[in-house]
Amino acid sequence: MKPRHKRLAIVGGLLSATGIVVALVLNAFQSNMVFFYSPTQVAANEAPANRAFRVGGLVAEGSVVRDGLNVNFVVTDTAKTVAVRYKGILPDLFQEGKGVVAQGQLQGDVFVAREVLAKHDENYMPPEAADAIQRAQKGQSRLEQTVVQGADAAKATYGYTSKSGDKQP
């Protein structure tokens, strides 16, 4: 009987250890998921107030104001806009009129970004941003041809290689 007990102990120990680990993993996963919201959803108060999320779209023309380290800009999905505040250096490919995704939290009406991701090159934009714009435009009927083309091109996207913001721990 003894070897059998031993084996039972090993198997039982392994199973319970694995169970604990799985629980820890799922818990970590649950608390670190970051959801994406479009400016339209943010305007409709669908985005969480006390939790980090991502917002994306185009950087509105003429909206970038830099003051030393601080920079303010507006993200638009052509229907609604979100004002974004960021402190630090923006990625190389961050430009007005181009796609962007920011991660951070809402403070009042301003989205305080901890991380800003920009698109990869001339032809592509972050897929989340492209998607947000397309959905916003489906909601409205007045489509601006140029933006639609941009969003369509972005459907076959690849994404952002420029990244800036929080250091990776």
Partner 1 sequence: MIPELGHFALWLAVGVTLALGTVPLIGAQRGRADWMALARPATHVLLALILFAFFCLLASFVRNDFSVLNVASNSNSELPTMYRIAASWGSHEGSLMLWLLMQAGWAWAVAAFSRNLPLPMLARILSVMGLLTLSFLLFVLFTSNPFDRVFPVPLDGRDLNPQLQDPGMIFHPPMLYMGYVGLSVAFAFAVAALIGGNLDTQWARWSRPWTTVAWAFLTFGIALGSWWAYYELGWGGWWFWDAVENASFMPWLVATALIHSLAVAEKRGSFKNWTVLLAILGYSLALLGTFLVRSGVITSVHSFASDPARGAFILMMMGVTVAAALTLYAWRAPRIGLGARFGMLSRETMLLANNVLLIVAMAAVMLGTLYPLILDAFGLGKISVGPPYFNAVYVPIMAVLMFFMGVGPLSRWKNDSLPALAVRLRWAAGVAVVSAALTAWGSGGIGFGGFVGLLMAYWILYTVVAEIWDRVQPSAATALGGSTVWQRLGQLPRASVGMWVAHAGTAMFVFGVTMVSVYDIEKDVAMGMGESTTVRGYTFTYQGSRPVNGPNYEAIRGHLIVTRDGQQVSELYPEKRVYRVQRMPMTEAAIDTRWHGDLYVQMGEPLAQDKWLVRIWVKPFVTWIWIGCMFMGLGGIWAITDRRYRQRVTRSSTAPTGAAGAAV
Q: Interface with partner 1 by CB under 8 A: which residues?
A: 3, 6, 9-10, 14, 17-18, 21-22, 24-25, 28-29, 31-36, 54, 66, 68-69, 87-90, 92-93, 103, 121-122, 126-128, 131, 156-161, 163-164, 167-169
Closest contact distance (angstroms) between CB of 75 and partner 1 is: 15
Q: What is the DSSP letter of 140?
A: S
Strand partners, 28: none
> Of 108, 98, 93, nearest to 130 (Cα)?
98
* CA triple 32-72-156, angle to 5 deg: 60
> Cβ closer to partner 1: 108 or 169?
169
Please give the helix or strand (H or E) that residue 29 lies within, else none.
helix 2-32
Closest contact distance (angstroms) between CB of 142 and partner 1 is: 25
> Cβ closer to partner 1: 3 or 108?
3
Q: What is the DSSP letter of 122?
A: T
> Cβ closer to partner 1: 21 or 44?
21
